[in-house]
Amino acid sequence: MPVHRARRLTEAGTARGTAVSPIGTLILEASDAGLRRILLPNAASPSGVAPVGADSTEALRSADRQLGEYFAGSRRHFDLELAPVGTPFQRSVWFALADIPYAGTISYAELAARVGRPSAFRAVGQANGANPLPIVLPCHRVIASGGGLGGYSGGLDVKRQLLDLERSVFAGRAPARLAV
């Protein structure tokens, strides 16, 4: 992703900036503790939010760089300070997402078992759907037990594109061009 200009701290020490990606413009939000949110293109308008740039916070610059590497096919794991806001249960689900292998998928039921709540697959699905850090905490890798895609806050086309990107990179092919 190209480095652009400007984004300063806004209310309560929160910084925001936009990052251009093959799936559309992402809005990144960070606090002093780390990256708090990534808003996918269909979630919010980037109007009034400046691109991530040299005078952005380190958390925003790092996220912008690592997301660019992910979309280019050269990054499979993220190394960022993360500070998502949620309940202890939600946070346990979100951080368990980071353990899903690149280009792999698991079911909502398997994710529920991984967080020690095997009968709570619906609650796990709701927590997964509320993930504030999509892509970095890869909720797109969670699918329905029958193999269907399930849902995705960015839309099923974006989920399919992210899974296809990872599968092509994992198979040693150049990342496919993603359609916006």
Q: Tell me, yes or no, if 139 is annotated catalytic.
A: yes
Picking from 10, 16, 2, the residue whose alpha carbon sits closest to that of residue 60 is: 16
157: Cβ contacts below 8 Å, ≥ 6 apart: 179
Contact status, residue 29 vs residue 85, Cβ threshold 8 Å: no
Contact status, residue 49 vs residue 15, Cβ threshold 8 Å: no
The C-alpha angle 82, 28, 121, rounded to 5 degrees, equals 55
Report DSSP state, residue 178.
P
**What is the C-alpha to C-alpha distance for residues 85 and 36, in angstroms, rounded to an integer?**
7
| Alpha-carbon distances, residue 59 vs 43, 127, 178 (angstroms) | 21, 24, 26
Catalytic residue among 139, 143, 162, 165: 139
Which element (helix H / strand E) includes 93?
A: helix 88-97
Active site residues: 139
